[in-house]
Amino acid sequence: MVETGNHDHHHQQHNHQPPPSQAAVPPRSVAAPLGSARGPFFPPAEQLLQLNYCIHSNPSWVQTAVLGFQHYIVMLGTTVMVATLLVPRMGGSPGDKARVIQSLLFMSGVNTLLQTWFGTRLPTVMGPSFAYVVSVLAVINDLSDGTFDSEHQRFSHTMRAIQGSLIVSSFINIILGYSNAWGKLTRFISPVVLVPSVCVVGLGLFARGFPQLANCVQIGLPMLILLVVAQQYLQHIHPVARPMLERFALLVCIAIIWSFAAILTVAGAYNNVKQQTKLSCRTDRSYLISSASWIKIPYPFQWGTPIFRASHVFGMMGAALVSSAESTATFYATARLAGATSPPAHVISRSIGLQGIGQLLQGIFGSVVGTAAAVENVGLLGLTRVGSRRVVQISTAFMIFFSIFGKFGAFFASIPLPIFAAIYCILYGIVAAIGISFIQFANNNSMRNIYVLGVSLFLGISIPQYFIMNTDASGHGPVKTNGGWFNDILNTIFSSPPTVALIVGTILDNTLEARHSVDDRGIPWLVPFQRRKGDSRNDEFYSYPLRISEYIPTRFL
């Protein structure tokens, strides 16, 4: 208590006490927040602690191989979806579709290996990106009026045009990455921006979930229910069953439902249904096994000499930018689910630069689209609680093996797409939830933050939905000016939920009371991870393997 009463001036001087007017005022007792006594308090956690294996720890070699095969199966769904969507429009036959899938698998394996060694070094699968679909459809439409001797000739000519545009537009990512420009842009990202941008990486893919599942609800819905029950509920029956079901239930469920679909097909359940239902439900409608070659090694310029056309290149540049934005958001989600700290700016930069090199290789080897970080495989890290880098590196062996030995790869590629859609309902949801978890590092009671989050989330889903709904089958979106290349760039950028959320969130977060809300935005937490030497753990997770860093200029590390 502060002394008061009849103390004279001499007594105060003798005891060296301040005069009453300057006496220390006791701190006011801060009222406990409402409800604080009603339950436990969970402090923010930079790294998830409930992982069975993080980025550095590895399961046994047998489990690693099976988990790697599981990653291959999960990314295979998107690969088949991309080829199924684009190849028939280009005039390709089932044999052409099989070769396209082989090329996509081969380059996904190569790019994943490069990214885990020299890119982010995170356990991220680099798979085919839907960001390129609008630009590819524009190329297909542009060449549809040409005169060709056969449909196969039209397919080959279109592939050569896509190759040329992929090669030239790849330099956008190479320049942005290795000039460190992309890393400098990420410094404007705060946890408040990470929440909507990472969240819509999962939520923005809702059309590939239940809508695709409902194309054959007889096998899609049982797959979804069985996976939830087997992976989440049955694991509690016995302690021995828990690790097996938690990590491998996905493969078991696929085998069961795929067999069920095969039985329905043989029994004639889909003999008298619509053509679309046959394509979705039957296990013998892909024609991939019969048309795939036994051994076929993808090689440079396998479709012929690339064709370079400016209008195609500009449209593909927009797709390259979008894939960079989507991959960046996915890398942050991967870091959380792999038990690593948030990736530093220079690591994001070099990974985008390497993604550009990967796109250059894809153009050379004749892939139909470029790659980006596969969201579904990031969700698989959370589903299995295994964030091991080695598992993803082993998965590249399956991608490359099955791309060369086509008959074997076509066997798994013939899995009906509604089965994959059921899996995505869960995996995309996990990634979306990881995005929400970033709010723990900012003030989630700030009305300013709530405004930024709400507007970014809503517009990140709403604007792309408008663009997608108003894009016709030939890839023409709502932006229609006299410049076709300009239309393609804007239609591609605003059709991507993560890109729109990142743009809106970054602008709002850095212009609305930004200087006065540094702590509320979570900047003090994120800045140490963004800097090269800001956190001692950065080198542990993101440094190059072996001693390769001694031979590479610092600006490229």
Please provide the DSSP assignment of 326-367 as one string: HHHHHHHHHHHHTTPPPPPHHHHHHHHHHHHHHHHHHHHHT-
- Tell the burial category of 320 from Cβ atoms under 10 Å away from its Cβ (0-12, 13-18, 19+): buried
How far apart are alpha carbons 394 and 309 in whole angstroms? 38
Contact criterion met (CB below 8 Å) for 253 and 223: yes
The kind and range of the H/E element at 127 are strand 126-128
3-state secondary structure of 386: strand
Radius of gyration of the chain (CA): 27
Q: What is the DSSP letter of 53?
A: B
Token code pair at residue 52: 């069975």
The alpha carbon of 449 is separated from its chain's Cα centroid by a whole number of angstroms, namely 24
How far apart are alpha carbons 376 and 394 in whole angstroms? 17
Residue 2 backbone phi and psi in degrees, to 5: -75, 135
CA-nearest of 343, 407, 400 to 373 is 343
- What's the residue count for the chain? 557
Predicted local distance difference test score (pLDDT) of residue 18: 47
CA-nearest of 506, 515, 517, 500 to 448 is 517
Residues 58, 64, 67: CA angle, nearest 5 degrees = 120
Q: What pTM value is reported for the model?
A: 0.88
Predicted local distance difference test score (pLDDT) of residue 107: 95
CA-nearest of 492, 470, 494 to 169 is 492
Predicted local distance difference test score (pLDDT) of residue 105: 95
CA-nearest of 520, 531, 452 to 195 is 452
CA-nearest of 315, 348, 328 to 179 is 348
Contact criterion met (CB below 8 Å) for 197 and 322: no
Contact criterion met (CB below 8 Å) for 357 and 315: no
Predicted local distance difference test score (pLDDT) of residue 4: 41
- Average pLDDT by stretches of 10, the chain with 557 residues: 42 46 48 61 81 91 96 94 92 89 95 94 94 89 82 91 94 94 91 95 91 92 95 85 89 94 88 82 79 86 90 88 94 94 92 96 93 95 94 96 90 90 95 94 93 96 93 80 82 93 95 88 87 75 72 58
Predicted local distance difference test score (pLDDT) of residue 553: 61
For 557, residues 6+ apart whose C-beta sits below 8 A from its C-beta are 346, 350, 532, 543, 544, 549
Quickly tell me which residue has 């090689």 as its tokens.
Answer: 299
Q: Burial code of 80-94, b = ≥16 C-beta within 10 A, e = fewer?
A: bbbbbebbebbbbeb
Neighbours of 366 (CB within 10 A): 26
Predicted local distance difference test score (pLDDT) of residue 151: 87
For 358, residues 6+ apart whose C-beta sits below 8 A from its C-beta are 107, 110, 111, 114, 115, 126, 370, 371
Predicted local distance difference test score (pLDDT) of residue 189: 92
Predicted local distance difference test score (pLDDT) of residue 32: 56
